[in-house]
Structures are given as structure tokens and as C-alpha cells.
Structure 1
Amino acid sequence: MEKKGFHFRFNKQERSGIFFLLLIIFILQGIFFYIKAKPFNGNKRIAINTDAQSRLDSLKQESQISALKIFPFNPNYITDHKGYVLGMSSKELDKLFAFRAKGRFVNSAQEFQQVTQVSDSLLETMSPYFKFPNWDKKDDSKKHFHPIEEKPVEVTDLNRATPEELMDVNGIGPKLSQRIVKFRDRLGGFLVTEQLYDVYGLEPEVVQRAMERFQVHQPPAVKKISINTATVEELSKLVYITTDMAHAIVRYREENGAFGALDELSNLKVLPAERIGRIKLYLTL
């Protein structure tokens, strides 16, 4: 029987070539893993020039302020909106408001910085607009503030207030003023001033300040929905009623008969107690 030869035979020169090829591959892999495993020496190639960055921020702030038409003002009476426009943070404004709540006044740009802790760059851009009142010089040891004659606050109809007018209230900025207007549009107009408490993000103390400036003078004509005949879809269209609440109202009506009084809504646990008063504004028997 004839033996079959092995077809994969290599001569000496071919074996040498294969050996060197494998050696090169091995060396390249070793170099690759060495470079990959080599730890970073910690030298930072990119360094931030903090002085330059601070100057850039200052220039940016100056350009933003210069683009606005700002008239001289007494910083003791700065509003949230104006402070926001000028670049102050809420913490800096809160420090000034707390200082003023004690019946005290800042008398110079330096005192303003001491109270608010604003940066030097921000003070530099703001202070040219500061206008402090005259002081009585009879007693240099005491500075008697000459209060500006305050005009009686004019109460505006809440349903006609513009976002800019709303921002005159301390605590209401651009976002909250827009949110108030959008909520008013969803309601079709405020029926009672207390509905301001239902605006998301509006703090109670801010609402109280807003109610000194704005009241509902002309509530809109609202077509009330009959609680005894309205469908789930009709009920859930109201801002204060979710779909689950609407189902609960209809289910209660089917199980217990028609509502005899709107106060029976308090029997539905799914309805938050603080929301029932608002819901009743839009319902009828």
C-alpha cells in the first residue's frame, strides 16, 4: 500500500520566513500592550488661565448690560427681575432683601458689595448705575434717609396683567411670569385671585406679594358643567380634574344617585381636599 505524503511541507528558507514573521507580530503586540498599560504621568497639557477666564466673563457681563437700556436706580429697591438682568444670583438678592427687611439701607457701592457679596467684576459693571438719595448732613454721625414719597399701589386686574407687569413683584422672574400667563390661558381666565396659589413653583409668600398688586376685577364668564350629567371626558377637560378623578365622580354618581350638593365631593377620597374648592368653581348641579 502506497503511503500518502504530507502536503504541508516547508523548506528551510520558508520555515525561517515564518519564524521571523511570528517574531515581528510578537514584538508589535508587546509594544502595543506596553504603550496601552503605561500610566499617565499626570502632566496637564491644557491649563485654564483663570485670570483670563475671569476677564472674559466680566467682558461678557459688561456687553450684556450695555446692550440693555438701564437708567440710574437706587439699589436699595432693586427687584428680582432687574437683579437677574444685571447678573445677580438669587442668593445675592436674598441677602439684600434680608438686610432691607430690617429697615436698613446701603449707602454706597462698597456697602452694597458687603451686604450682597457680589464679585468685584459684577460690582464694577453695576455701580455706574447706582443712584443713592440725599442725606441730611446736620448730624454726620447719623445718616437720616430721606424716603422717596411712595405713591399708592395701583391694583391691576390679574386677568389683564402682562408678564412684564408681573415681574415687578419681588420673587417673580421671566419664567414664573410666563408660567402665570400660561396657567391663566388654560383656565380661560382667573375666577378668583387665590388661584395664583395653584401656579407651579410660585411660593406662598410671593403669591401674597402679588395679591397686593393684582386682583381679579373682571372674572371671565365660565359655562359651568353639570356634575350630574357630565361625562368622564367632559369632566377631565377641567384643569383641576384628572381622568382618574373624573371616573371617580361618575362612578360615585352611578352608585349613589345624583349629587344633592357639591359638598358631597368631599366624600371622594381621590379628590384632594385643597382642590375641591377650586373644582366647585367650574361645576353646577
Structure 2
Amino acid sequence: MLKHIPGIGSYYAGKICRYRERLGGFVSAHQIKEVEGLPQGIERWFVIEMKPELHRMNVNEASFRQLVRHPYLNYEQVKIIFDYRRKYGRLKSWNDLQLYNEFSTDHIQKLLPYFTF
């Protein structure tokens, strides 16, 4: 299906699918721009027609490796999550991490669709 889009062949289709899998699903067509190397303006060919079925990850049960593989979390953020879990126990929500500079309000909004507690 992706290969029917102008400028998308097997290589880019594979990159898009792998990114979608790591992410847990797309909630917005604009997320296509996050896939490295795609032709500029390609997102105009993408539409999210219905509420997508996302694969959500539990922040309290996921391993370090699982969390660090998510495109919206980096090593330092995952380290903070694990330090918090070690010191205080389970996280109840992203609000538990808002005091850390690494978790801005905008960034937390981006994480919300992909994680549970």
C-alpha cells in the first residue's frame, strides 16, 4: 500500500513500517516527518482516517531496553524513569516526572498516547 505513494519504494516503506512499530502506531500524519530520510512534503499523502489502534507500553513494567527503543524517549529520560522507580516505586502518571527538565509539558503530551502506568 505504501509503495503506491509517489516517492515511496520498498526501502522507504520498510523504514516507515519499522518506525511505526517502534512508536506503537501513528496518531497523526505529521509523524511521518519523523522518519529519517523521507522526501520532503511526503506527509501530505498520509491520512489517519480513524482512531488508530496503538500498542501501549506500561512504563512501570517495561525494561530499560524496551523504553530506550521508543523514539520519544532518550537514554537520559529512561535513566530518570528507572531512578524514580528505584527510589519511589511505581510511577502513577507522567506528572511524577514533570519536575525534571528532560520532561517538558509538551514532551509529556507527545508521550501520552503510547504509555500506560
Would the TM-score normalized by the shorter structure come out above 0.5? yes
SS across alignment from 2:5: helix
The answer on whether the counterparts of 1:262 and 1:284 sit within 8 Å (CA) in structure 2 is: no
Residue 183 of structure 1 pairs with residue 23 of structure 2: no
Aligned residue in 1 for 2:31: 195
Mark the CA change 1:258 to 1:247 in structure 2 (over 3 Å): closer, same or farther.
same
Task: Give, in angstroms, the shift of residue 284 of structure 1.
Answer: 0.5
**Cα distance in 2 for residues equivalent to 1:269 and 1:247:** 13
Mark the CA change 1:180 to 1:277 in structure 2 (over 3 Å): closer, same or farther.
farther
The answer on whether the counterparts of 2:2 and 2:13 sit within 8 Å (CA) in structure 1 is: no
Q: Provide structure 1 residue ranges, at least 5 long, that are not aligned to the other structure.
A: 1-159, 168-173
Aligned residue in 2 for 1:206: 41
The answer on whether the counterparts of 2:27 and 2:52 sit within 8 Å (CA) in structure 1 is: yes
Alignment of 1:81-120 (within 5 A): none
**Cα distance in 2 for residues equivalent to 1:259 and 1:187:** 26
Task: Give, in angstroms, the shift of residue 251 of structure 1.
Answer: 0.9
Residue 243 of structure 1 pairs with residue 75 of structure 2: yes
Correspondence for 1:215 among 47, 59, 63: 47
Aligned residue in 2 for 1:5: none
Q: Percent identity?
A: 19
Task: Using CA pairs under 8 Å that are at least 6 residues apart, name the structure with larger relative contact order, 1 or 2.
Answer: 2
The answer on whether the counterparts of 1:232 and 1:246 sit within 8 Å (CA) in structure 2 is: yes
Residue 230 of structure 1 pairs with residue 65 of structure 2: no
Supply the RMSD in Å over aligned alpha carbons: 3.4
Residue 165 of structure 1 pairs with residue 1 of structure 2: no
TM-superposition CA deviations, 1:65-122 (whole Å, max 9, x none):
xxxxxxxxxxxxxxxxxxxxxxxxxxxxxxxxxxxxxxxxxxxxxxxxxxxxxxxxxx
Task: Give, in angstroms, the shift of residue 220 of structure 1.
Answer: 5.2
Task: Give, in angstroms, the shift of residue 277 of structure 1.
Answer: 3.3
SS across alignment from 1:215: coil
How many corresponding residue pairs? 114
The answer on whether the counterparts of 1:190 and 1:219 sit within 8 Å (CA) in structure 2 is: no
Task: Give, in angstroms, the shift of residue 201 of structure 1.
Answer: 4.6
The answer on whether the counterparts of 1:184 and 1:190 sit within 8 Å (CA) in structure 2 is: no
**Cα distance in 1 for residues equivalent to 2:80 and 2:30:** 26
Task: Give, in angstroms, the shift of residue 241 of structure 1.
Answer: 2.3
Mark the CA change 1:261 to 1:271 in structure 2 (over 3 Å): closer, same or farther.
closer
Determine which structure has more spread, i.e. the larger CA radius of gyration. 1
Task: Give, in angstroms, the shift of residue 192 of structure 1.
Answer: 2.5
**Cα distance in 2 for residues equivalent to 1:178 and 1:275:** 29
How does the TM-score come out when normalised to structure 1? 0.32
Q: Provide structure 2 residue ranges, at least 5 long, that are not aligned to the other structure.
A: none
**Cα distance in 1 for residues equivalent to 2:20 and 2:87:** 30
TM-superposition CA deviations, 1:21-74 (whole Å, max 9, x none):
xxxxxxxxxxxxxxxxxxxxxxxxxxxxxxxxxxxxxxxxxxxxxxxxxxxxxx
**Cα distance in 2 for residues equivalent to 1:202 and 1:276:** 26
